[in-house]
Structure 1
Amino acid sequence: MPNKADSQAKPGLENFSVTVFPAVLGIVGLGLAWRDAGAGFGIPGWIGEIIAGFGAGFFAAVLALYGLKIFRFPNAAVKEATSVPTASLVAAIPMNFMLVAGVIAPYVATLGEMLWWIGVIGQLAVTIHVVGYVWLNKGLGVQSITPVWLLPTVGIILAPISGSAFDYPFISWLLFGIAVFFWVALTPLLLYRLVFAEGLAPPQRPALVIILTPPSLCVAAYVHLQGGYMDPFAHMLFGVACMMALLLLTKLKEFMALPFSMAWWAFTFPLDAFARATMLYNDHLEEAASAVLALLALGVATLVVSLVFWRTVRFMFQGGLFRPPG
């Protein structure tokens, strides 16, 4: 009779990890970036709608599978939600709700608004859980700090972006303030760990690209809150995003040498967010240089998402999504 350890090592739904949800962020985020490109450059709008629609459908499938896991293996789900390495990734779930709300809002405003509220409330709940329970009560060391920590806190910045279709300016400004506070608070801690302590382990290195996400999303959120106007503060935020992108370029060779894992999806959504920020910047400047930068950022994001998606499909057909880690 097999022992308990052997049974746990077998492939199955119990091993379907929360690490799949960042894939939805990457796909839907790319679709929304193409939607922005359609508005700014006259690119056929159906491209972005197909990508975003596929991402929304993928989210529904992943959410159903993970919901089934919670029902059948609640202990495994609780372990992911309370473990330091994976708890922050739970934030990708409400982030997906907010992104999908932005996809659906132009077609079914009521449904989009409902999904937005689910995402906002869920994101706040995850933030309180991760910060109050996982971080503050664990006595963690500096080695525990990773870029993934930005998801449950700074992820709330999606609310004013996706929520721009709805009339909640007061709430959106509050959420913007929360996100900026945690971005400013966590970034020095992360830099301290990267500069003065041991670097990220190979499986964690794709997550370094997440540092591009906060300034990029802050550009989009702030401009939306300002009614589309890009003032000097928005220019400053965009400059920070460009600097993060340049710093990450110095790590390109290291990134390309990493073996594939679901952690590769950490490359995708930050590039989507940066592409959307460059679109907004070009809408304001309407210069040749800004147009080239916007199209280049969109092209890079599309290439990376396509590559990671292709590798993920292979990984999925090999049963990798249901195998235990390691």
Structure 2
Amino acid sequence: MIRPRRPMPPPLKPPAPGLWRRTPPAIFPPILGLFGLGLGWRAAAQAFGVSPGFGDMILGAVAILFLFALVAWLAKPLRRPTVVLEELRVLPGRAGVAAASLCLMLLAASLVPFAPVLALGLALLAALAQATFIILLTYVMRTGPAEGRVVTPIFHLSFVGFILGGLVANALGHHEVAKWLLWAMLVPAGLIWGISARQLLARVPPAPLRPLLAIHLAPASLFAIVAQGAGLEGAAYAFTALAAAIFAALLVALRWLTASGFSPLWGAFTFPLAAFATALITVSQGVGPMAWAGGVLLAGATIAIPLIAFRILKMWASGPLAAKTNAAEA
């Protein structure tokens, strides 16, 4: 008796041909941190009276890296525009897409000393990109499941990110614009801080998501930097004190924050660290213990941020970053 032949299993779906069909937006948070590091060294050069060449060298290299990463990611929405909505349904995607537009704003800040007109144009383009991102994110949250509407530290990148425009405005001499951005962004930042504090008291976040708590440090640091640049010295010191309190809490809880081991979400540590070091240096104007604390922190960030960025970008180059962050495919 001849046994009936078993049907063969269906063939696995081969990946669609084409370059950069699944570029993960998780590559942008560490690049944002590298931009912050370069701007931190530029601030240190002004405060301590040393050559700005090192900071400009970092910013030039990061600008090239960012433009390459941006082209790689834009290949997805150029093929299928709705892929952006799919990116925004997961936390790494939301953080990455927001960080991409913020990187564009920091690119503008980097270019101010060399090409102020181009810097202004890029800043306006970054603001438009950020506004578009907020509209798309609001749509995704309203049409998606309820758990996708929970406030997370990533909301700072989404709704407070315009404060980076204050860096460009101050550098271009538009201090009134910087002041307006500062006071306007205080409202969403305060709401996010308050809601996040209540959530933290109500339940312990899962270990893999704890690195995102470091993002809370960034707005306070940026408020201090923008306030100092706009001539609001009292406000700058107040925001620096707030940032120092947040940094101290994060430092005490560092083992708890990193309990799950290294992951792509460690990109959340990079920019806040650079921003806090820059705030200490900028507000102190290179004088006193605050300045030296900022210098030491910047030196430590110069080691930590590139290492984190290298590990994340290496995961992109070798392949697993897209799967680990659930990146959408075009």
Identify whether the pair has TM-score above 0.5, normalized to the shorter chain.
yes
The answer on whether the counterparts of 2:207 and 2:257 sit within 8 Å (CA) in structure 1 is no
Q: Which amino acid aligns with 1:266?
A: A
2:305 aligned counterpart, secondary structure: helix
Q: Which residue of 2 aligns with 1:280?
A: 282
1:295 positional shift: 1.1
Q: Which residue of 1 aligns with 2:200?
A: 194
Once residues 280 and 130 of structure 2 are traced to their aligned partners in structure 1, the CA distance between those partners, rounded to angstroms, is 26
The answer on whether the counterparts of 2:179 and 2:230 sit within 8 Å (CA) in structure 1 is yes
Per-residue CA distance 1:144-189 (angstroms, 9 max, x = gap)? 3321111111111100112223254444333323311100111111
Change (3 A) 1:85 1:265: closer
Once residues 48 and 175 of structure 2 are traced to their aligned partners in structure 1, the CA distance between those partners, rounded to angstroms, is 28
1:41 positional shift: 1.5
Once residues 93 and 57 of structure 1 are traced to their aligned partners in structure 2, the CA distance between those partners, rounded to angstroms, is 14
Counterpart mapping for 1:223-262 below 5 A: 223-226=228-231, 229-231=232-234, 233-262=235-264
Q: Unpaired segments of 5 or more residues in structure 2?
A: 1-9
Higher relative contact order (CA 8 A, sep 6+): 2
1:321 positional shift: 3.8
1:51 positional shift: 0.9
Q: Which residue of 2 aligns with 1:318?
A: 318
Q: Which residue of 1 aligns with 2:126?
A: 119
1:238 positional shift: 0.9
Which residue, out of 46, 52, 57, partners 2:59? 52
Once residues 313 and 95 of structure 2 are traced to their aligned partners in structure 1, the CA distance between those partners, rounded to angstroms, is 25
Which residue, out of 1, 7, 11, partners 1:2? 11
Structure number, greater radius of gyration: 2
Q: How many residues align?
A: 317
1:49 positional shift: 0.8
Once residues 170 and 149 of structure 2 are traced to their aligned partners in structure 1, the CA distance between those partners, rounded to angstroms, is 38
2:180 aligned counterpart, secondary structure: helix
Once residues 252 and 74 of structure 2 are traced to their aligned partners in structure 1, the CA distance between those partners, rounded to angstroms, is 40
Per-residue CA distance 1:202-233 (angstroms, 9 max, x = gap)? 3322111111111100001112222xx512x2
Once residues 290 and 322 of structure 2 are traced to their aligned partners in structure 1, the CA distance between those partners, rounded to angstroms, is 43
Counterpart mapping for 1:22-171 below 5 A: 22-83=29-90, 86-130=93-137, 132-135=138-141, 138=144, 140-141=146-147, 144-171=150-177
Once residues 250 and 142 of structure 1 are traced to their aligned partners in structure 2, the CA distance between those partners, rounded to angstroms, is 30
The answer on whether the counterparts of 1:18 and 1:86 sit within 8 Å (CA) in structure 2 is yes
RMSD: 2.6
